A = this chain, B = another copy of it.
Amino acid sequence: MSRIVQKFGGTSVGDVERIKKVAERVKLTAAQGNQVVVVVSARAGITNELLSRARAVCKDPSEREMDMLLAVGEQETIALTAMALHDQGVDAVSFTGAMAGIQTDRAHTKARIVTIDASAVEKQLEAGKVVIVAGFQGINEEGHITTLGRGGSDLSAIALASAVKADKCEIFTDVDGVYTADPRIVGKAQKINEISYDEMLELASSGSKVMQPRSVEFAEKHGVLFEVRSSFNFNRGTVVKAEVPHMEKVVVRGVAVDKDQAKIIVSNILDKPGSAAKVFRALADANIVVDMIVQNVGRNGIANLTFTVPQGDTLKAQKSLEPVLDEIGGGHVAVHEAIAKLSVVGVGMKTHSGVAADLFKGLADASINIDLITTSEIKISVVIELDRADEAARIVHTIFGLDAE
């Protein structure tokens, strides 16, 4: 007998018919003799309904009350999912995040899980029940309802899997798993059968939106093996787990394109100690995440700083830099939004040389200009012009032997 955590997102529980399908799937898993914990999100759409009501009564709703409000979404789903299981003859019981013992810190709307007291969940499992837990939500030490922010239900599932020492955690979604590239861009993209946490993290941070990085980080830290798979079929998905030696045989695991970045150039600044620090302090104070950074020093002690930020933050970035410009010698801020970041990811890069050279040559052969470059142990990222990003992804996918037959 195994213990399995299964997580279904908002689309998978989007209406009563979908909920019945989820129940059928859970029933199958339970019928195979497994103890099953099911983590569900709020149905797709309800969050927007609730937000619009909140905005109608309050210009600036407090985060504490927003959590109280949004938590009803999953509570509806857990009750309906338990009922759907009952209707199919499966003994099941629903738990809110608080009832499931998911203790968080006090950061409303983006709480972190501090600990999980899974004793109540385990008691029900031992009693032969399927336990349905509300994802995305928890309770803080003062007894107030908190929510975990974007991707919170994935995190709930992985943290619960760790707490109940599950043999497996399945993250059901609307895709078959993690692909070597976005199949909408690269027609020959293939599903990856297994991938290391680090590769998954680098792919996620490079624009592959399957899961939020912090869920993967949590899984890595606590050694939770999980599988990303489709709720619409029974295909095997992508198993995400700790790196094992044979993974290094594949040099490049996947190619990711991030079109949501903008490039900012701060030019004509004095090349003196502290200039760059002042720029990035100002951006950090404005809560802007800076990704790739390059500094060029020209003649006469004049330097340029180039970096990328999320496109939605460009105006905020410009504003936050204005008061700094004088301090660093005048200078000028320019924004370029027509860029994309292309990344190749693979733990094999640790032991294989020449990946960067192959990448640069492939792009050069197609006359695609490389603007910025950053590298990590298992990733190389380049900034290229937006118009040629999809073509570049297909070229690189072929170069590294990722194309499906």
Chain B nearest CB from A137 CB (Å) reads 11
Q: Are A61 and B86 in contact (CB under 8 A)?
A: yes
Q: Are B75 and A68 in contact (CB under 8 A)?
A: yes
**A50 proximal to B (CB < 8 A):** yes
Closest residue of chain B to A72 (Cβ to Cβ) is B72
Q: Are B68 and A79 in contact (CB under 8 A)?
A: yes
Looking at A16, A50, A56, A83, the one whose CB has the most chain B CB atoms below 10 A away is A83
**A206 proximal to B (CB < 8 A):** no
Taking CB atoms, residues of chain B closer than 8 Å to A84 are: 57-58
Looking at A72, A76, A93, the one whose CB has the most chain B CB atoms below 10 A away is A76
Taking CB atoms, residues of chain B closer than 8 Å to A93 are: 64-65
**Interfacial residues of chain A within 41-71, with CB under 8 A of chain B in the complex:** 50, 53-54, 56-62, 64-66, 68-69, 71
**Interfacial residues of chain A within 83-126, with CB under 8 A of chain B in the complex:** 83-84, 86-87, 93-94, 96, 99, 120
* Chain A contact residue count (CB 8 A cutoff): 39
Q: Are A99 and B143 in contact (CB under 8 A)?
A: yes
Given A16-B53, A93-B64, A143-B120, CB of A59 within 8 Å of CB of B87 = yes
**A159 proximal to B (CB < 8 A):** no
Taking CB atoms, residues of chain B closer than 8 Å to A384 are: none
List 9 tightest A-B contacts by C-beta distance, closest first.
A69-B79, A58-B83, A72-B72, A58-B87, A68-B79, A16-B56, A57-B84, A61-B83, A65-B82
Residues of A whose CB lies within 8 Å of any CB of B are: 16, 19-20, 23, 50, 53-54, 56-62, 64-66, 68-69, 71-72, 75-76, 78-80, 82-84, 86-87, 93-94, 96, 99, 120, 143-145
